[in-house]
Amino acid sequence: MRKILPAALILLLLAAPWIIAKPFLVHLMIMVLLWTVLGASWNLLGGFTGQVSFGHATFLGAGAYTMMILYLKLGLDPWYGIVIGGLVAALIALPIGYLCFRLRGPYFALSTLAVAEIIRLIALNWESLTAGPVGLLITTLPRVTFWGKAINWESKTPFFYLAVIIALAALLATAVISRSRLGAYLLAVREDIDSAEAIGINTVQVRVAALSLSAFFAGLAGGFYALYLRYIDPDAVFSIALSVEMVFIAVVGGLTTVAGPLIGAVFLVTLGETFREHFLVGHLIFYGFFMMLAIRYMPEGIWGKVRLWIKKPATLGNSS
Amino acid sequence: MSLLKLSGLTKFFGGLQAVSELSFEVQAGEILGLIGPNGAGKTTAFNLIAGFISPSAGEILFNGENIGGMKAYAVTRKGIARTFQIVKPFKKLSVLENVTLAAFLRFPARREAEAAAGRILEKMGLGSKLPALAVDLTLSEQKRLEIARALATDPKLLLLDEPMGGLNPTEIDQASKLVRDICRGGVTIIWVEHVLKAIMNVSDRVVVINYGKKIAEGTPEQVVKKPEVIAAYLGTKKR
């Protein structure tokens, strides 16, 4: 059962663009997968280590700009650009981590907010690199053949499969980490930093590792996001609203679980995109509303609650 | 060479001298009681040795190496483990997981770490509680869990910060036996305690501090007779 269910879901996912041919629905699934990655990214840090970041858009933006700049200025294929974007985000996370993790609790959360704003302002003003508020635009994508056929960039299908790959990678990484010694150490940090130090865990290093891994996936998502939209500007990829949406998805889905971000994304993105049709930014009102409901009635999140019904809570090496 | 040697250890918090020119030695294999009235600087001394705060002056020699100012995790890796006065279990993890996390330090493989954790918990009388969440244990059990977790890092020196605070007389007797057993197992112990009866029965030697300074040192019998100690605990007679 534990192996068949994910496999069936993956097969269903791969066949989805043919089953559901409507472009809006394929777009919806792409957004769900994108937010699954971002939720999983936030979960790696916020869920496993309990360190609340309000600045994760920093890493999304870093990935997006890396991919865009490499493609537009150096002509590097977006595939490589997305991966390098993830690596750049992971690298940027190192100094941020070593600085901000000197602080604890709310002070850490505030420092991530401050760093995100600083980086947004840098992106806004470093016009020679980022074109500032004008933003960067991809007019043509390179001709890529896959099994002898040229990929049709006007269709949403290739983006869908790319999103599937990145989302599966993020969920798989979460599963692997949650079973590893590092994953156990992350939980120790979440439970009590002093006790973690007392049993020989270098908690700064462990938290920086979690932040960097988390940033890698946010960076991948950012590179993909830029390729999919073909246009970015600092407010579109470095905004606080994006950082906050990541928190919503991870928390509503279920912290410290593997599937939580996927469930959270399915739930919130579907609702959000549906309401966006009618109310513009109104989707954030619904996000906030469901966040409140989740905090009040199921602080362990939707998937966390379901897990409580069917088996024991997520602990070391047991967090599907 | 003594296992631990403090010389001139001093810590200021702003203008307050919490620990002042504190010097004493601990020999391998002994149980040293560290006592003193409230606010005497006992816990500060522990925090200094365990690396939770760094000294303003003075040295902490462990096996001849100055560990003063080292980070807490590094001190633990050197072989000094501690417990906290107010227990700090990993609340939402099970008893076995709590100790397994500590055992990872010496056994990187999960299976071996779990086996080591199981052995220690059995010795601490928590063998029947392995799957229970730490938060659901009684205070006495949480205190033993705290010691088990410290032991799982395989320390040479164990710092116990009031392991008997809040326990009833029966539990205190059990805990006293446990402390002696741990010492017989080859772990040197420094022990801060307010339950004087227990510490006098168990300790080989006692160091008494007041206002951050050492005011007496010796066997329990010697120390309780010293006028400075009586004055510190009971106050001085009015003339």
Distance between CA atoms of residues B169 and B138, nearest Å: 15
Chain A hits for B52, CB-CB cut-off 8 Å, are: 194, 197
Residues of chain B found within 8 Å of residue A316, distances taken between Cβ atoms: 93, 97, 100-101
Give pLDDT tens digits for A261-270.
999 999 888 8
> In 10 A of CB A316, how many CB atoms?
23
Segments of chain A assigned E as strands: 136-137, 145-146, 149-150, 231-232
Q: Do B66 and B57 form a contact (C-beta atoms < 8 A)?
A: no
Substitution target in A101, A102, A194, A195 with the highest count of B β-carbons within 10 Å is: A195
Residues B39-83: tens digit of each pLDDT: 889 999 999 999 999 999 999 999 999 999 999 999 999 999 999
Of B52, B76, B90, the CB nearest to A200: B76
- Structural domain includes residue A28: no
Q: Looking at the partner chain, which of B72, B92, B100 has a beta carbon nearest the beta carbon of A191?
A: B92
> Which are the contacts of B238, defined by CB distance < 8 A and separation ≥ 6?
none
Identify the helix (H) or strand (E) that includes residue A143. none
Rounded to the nearest angstrom, the minimum Cα separation between A184 and chain B is 7
Higher-pLDDT residue of A310, B16 = B16
Residue A244's nearest CA partner among A286, A205, A288 is A288
With CB atoms and an 8 Å threshold, state whether B97 touches A313: no
Closest chain A residue to B114, measured at CA: A316
The region of weakest confidence among A33-37, A303-307, B40-44 is A303-307
A315·B73 Cβ contact <8 A: no
Closest-CA residue to A300 (of A250, A265, A226): A250
Chain B contact for A185, CB < 8 A?
Answer: yes
pLDDT at A316 over 70: no
pLDDT the model gives residue B75: 97
Cα of A189 to nearest chain B Cα, Å: 9
Q: Answer yes or no: are the C-beta atoms of A68 and A261 closer than 8 Å.
A: no
Q: Which amino acid makes up residue B166?
A: G
**Model ipTM value:** 0.91
Per-residue confidence (pLDDT) for residue A25, from 0 to 100? 87
Beta strand pairing status for B4-13 and B57-62? antiparallel
The reported pLDDT for the residue numbered A22 is 83
- C-beta separation of A36 from A194 below 8 A: no
**A54 within domain boundaries:** yes
Greater pLDDT, A18 or B100: B100
A48 touches chain B (CB under 8 A): no
pLDDT value for A64: 97
Q: What is the pLDDT of residue A19?
A: 76
Which pLDDT value is given to residue A292? 86
pLDDT (0 to 100) of residue A312: 60
Contact A315, A186 (CB under 8 A): no
Distance CA A149, CA B207 (A): 82
The pLDDT confidence band at residue A121, using thresholds 50, 70 and 90, is very high
pLDDT of residue B73: 97
Using the beta-carbon criterion (under 8 Å), do A199 and B76 form an inter-chain contact?
Answer: yes
Min distance B88 CA to chain A CA atoms (Å): 6
Please say if the pLDDT value at position A114 is more than 70: yes
In the numeric block, which tokens belong to residue A192? 């009590």
Mean pLDDT of A276-283: 71
SS (H, E, C) chain B: CCCEEEEEEEEEECCEEEEEEEEEEECCCCEEEEECCCCCCHHHHHHHHCCCCCCCEEEEEECCEECCCCCHHHHHHHCEEECCCCCCCCCCCEHHHHHHHHHCCCCCCHHHHHHHHHHHHHHCCCHHHCCCEHHHCCHHHHHHHHHHHHHCCCCCEEEEECCCCCCCHHHHHHHHHHHHHHHHCCCEEEEECCCHHHHHHHCCEEEEEECCEEEEEECHHHHHHCHHHHHHHHCCCCC
Output the CA–CA distances (angstroms, integers) from residue B130 to A124, A139, A182, B94, B120, in the order listed. 55, 61, 22, 7, 11
Radius of gyration of chain A (CA): 19
Question: CB contact, 8 Å: B149 with chain A?
Answer: yes
Q: What is the helix (H) or strand (E) element at residue A305, kind and residue range? A: helix A301-310
Interval A149-172: pLDDT, tens: 777 888 888 899 999 999 999 999
Q: Is the CB of A192 less than 8 angstroms away from the CB of B93?
A: no
Total domains in the fold of chain A: 1
Q: Does some domain include residue A303?
A: no
Which pLDDT does position B239 carry in this prediction?
Answer: 59
Chain A nearest C-alpha distance from B156 (Å): 14
The answer, yes or no, to whether residue B209 has pLDDT greater than 90, is yes
Spatial contact of B228 and B216, defined as CB atoms under 8 Å apart: yes
Interface test with B, best of A98, A187, A191 (most B CBs within 10 A): A191
Neighbours of A308 (CB within 10 A): 14
Q: Is residue A112 part of a domain?
A: yes
Looking at domain B1-79+157-171+189-239, what is its CATH homologous superfamily?
Answer: P-loop containing nucleotide triphosphate hydrolases (3.40.50.300)
Ranking A66-70, A281-285, B16-20, B205-209 by mean pLDDT, the lowest is: A281-285
pLDDT confidence tier of residue B153, bands split at 50, 70 and 90: very high
For residue A179, what is the nearest residue in chain B, using CA coordinates?
Answer: B110
Instruction: Decide if A263 is inside a domain.
Output: no
3 state SS of A197: helix
Angle at A62 between CA A58 and CA A63, to 5 degrees: 120
**Which of B52, B73, B89 is closest, CB to CB, to A201?**
B73
Task: Say if A184 is an interface residue toward chain B (CB within 8 Å).
Answer: yes
Give Cβ neighbours of residue A191 (< 8 Å, ≥ 6 apart): A50, B89, B90, B91, B92, B93
Q: What is the pLDDT of residue A238?
A: 95
Q: What is the pLDDT of residues A250-261, one digit of tens each?
A: 998 999 999 999
List chain A residues with CB under 8 Å of B116.
none
Environment class of residue B141 by beta-carbon count within 10 Å: exposed (0-12), middle (13-18) or buried (19+)? buried
Confidence of residue B237 (pLDDT cuts 50, 70, 90): low
Interface probe for A, chosen from B85, B101, B105, B158 (most Cβ of A below 10 Å), is B101
Task: Provide Rg for chain B, Cα atoms.
Answer: 18
Query: To the nearest whole percent, how much of chain A has pLDDT over 90?
Result: 60
Which residue does chain A place closest to B111, by CA atoms? A181
Q: Side by side, which strands form the sheet with B65-66? A: B16-26, B4-13, B57-62, B65-66
Residue A47 is inside which H or E element, if any?
none
Domain residue limits at A59: 33-242
User: CB neighbours (10 Å) of residue A176?
Assistant: 12
pTM reported for the whole predicted model: 0.90
> Cβ of B110 under 8 Å from any chain A Cβ?
yes
Average pLDDT over residues A83-88: 97
* Mean pLDDT score of chain A: 89
Per-residue pLDDT band for A281 (boundaries 50, 70, 90) equals low
User: What is the residue-wise DSSP string for A62-102?
Assistant: HHHHHHHHHHHHH---HHHHHHHHHHHHHHHHHHHHHHHTT
What is the C-alpha to C-alpha distance for residues A74 and A81, in angstroms, rounded to an integer? 10
CB distance from B211 to chain A under 8 Å? no
